[in-house]
A and B are shown apart, each in its own frame.
Chain A
């Protein structure tokens, strides 16, 4: 059974850095064909794919992020992190992690989501 859960701060000030953690079980992130993606949904808006990391450490990011976000993995603890720098109120959203398979575009199982609010 695959499960994922997001954790991290819920409130951050503009220009600050925030790291979210996705803790997963039921699969291993050691294969190049397996990945974990981060996806967010701003209030009242559509889903936005942000980044993905695969077992061989290949990473891909949403182009409009312009390098502000960084995705990492910790195989020993079955965790994937998303570090977001220079946070802005437009980054206020519910952030989800999901498992995926390279090249498939399938986000199979999702975490419950973590609401992040960017406000002074």
Chain B
């Protein structure tokens, strides 16, 4: 069965500092990988996705993520965090068949300090 681990429940970053949110997955092959962001009381917005090809994926809002097969990881990064980035971030995996469901990690809450 596939699973996703986000080891950090919450992270605090100073505004302007860089950010890296960790995501590790367990799956028999290379899955489809996603990062979503959720603001309080809102639904989820897709930041970026990896299906195949270039392992460094660019997303919206200045985010990027790097797929590392050897480490079964898909960490999310941003070079300079803005206060508006404070939110909950979810990593998700899906089977590369095109029609399966997604499995979400437990999420990482990002807090941005002035």
A and B: real partners?
no
